[in-house]
Amino acid sequence: MYGWRARVGTVLPAASTILPNEFLKVAPDGVIMVYTRIFIQKLTKEQLGDLDQQIEQTVKLLMPCKPQFIIQAASPLVWTSGPGYDKKIIEKVERVAGVPATTTATAVMKALNRFKAKKVNVATPYPDWINTQVKSFLEATGFEVLNIKGLGMELPNETAKLTPDVAYNLARQVFAEAPNADCMFISCGNMRTFEIIEKLERDLGVPVETNNQAAIFESFSTLKIRDPIRGYGKLFEMI
């Protein structure tokens, strides 16, 4: 049976193609992702606001697959809803599913705390209004954002077409403008990053966190999947 060791359930945005594939890069034998999708086409306040109403039903669609842990993706929903909103989502998901859950934003903050990061640089594909919310959210939860820069993109399906060098070069630019950060955070689960995390860590000299890396790490840690994972950043070396 596929998933005989662990089944990680994920609620993905409609256009998300990157998280399932990055999961496959690091999933040990016997560990699978099962997922369903939440509808969003564009990163606007109206469409992000509609996501909350879909969460309960989409989680129910996962349950026949019997996931043992659930990741609620679509981090812009959390960033734009303010500090503490991720906890409300987690409570809702866990109430419906009866298993532990996280959001990608929650997982990122836990990962930053694992590295005792206080000063953070952020690179995103998002438009400025979402970046402003990301900065406010992180600073309200105890991190100092030294620099944040985005690509101004509103269409998640276009973000998925970006090659990994785009994330690499954007992060290098952000870090060059604020080189005293403790950590480099690349936000957006639909932007390819796994190919460049380790290279960025070598070149910048600090840990690099991404949405997908942090969420996958939390799922494996919670489910006690401890196979060594190398080549995808310092966080996975902490398993």
Residue 42 lies in a domain: yes
Residues 45 and 58 grouped into a single domain = yes
- Report d(CA 137, CA 145) in Å as an integer: 10
Residues 102 and 13 grouped into a single domain = yes
- Give me 7's structure tokens: 């089944």
- Report d(CA 88, CA 72) in Å as an integer: 12
pLDDT > 70: what percent of the chain? 94
> Which residues sit opposite 70 in a β-bridge?
9, 101
pLDDT at 12 over 70: yes
Residue 1 lies in a domain: no
Burial 82-93 (b: 16+ CB within 10 A, else e): eeebbeebbebb
Domain of residue 37, CATH code: 3.40.50.12500
Residue 218 lies in a domain: yes
Burial 196-224 (b: 16+ CB within 10 A, else e): bbbebbeebebbbbbbbbbbbbbbbbbbe
Which of 17-26, 55-64, 210-219 has the least mean pLDDT? 55-64
- Report d(CA 190, CA 18) in Å as an integer: 5
Provide the whole-model pTM. Answer: 0.94
pLDDT at 64 over 70: yes
SS3 call for 214: helix
Residues 143 and 25 grouped into a single domain = no
Give the residue numbers spanning the domain of 43.
Answer: 6-106+213-238
Residues 6+ apart with CB under 8 A from 113: none
Residues 200 and 218 grouped into a single domain = no
Residue predicted with more confidence, 53 or 206: 206
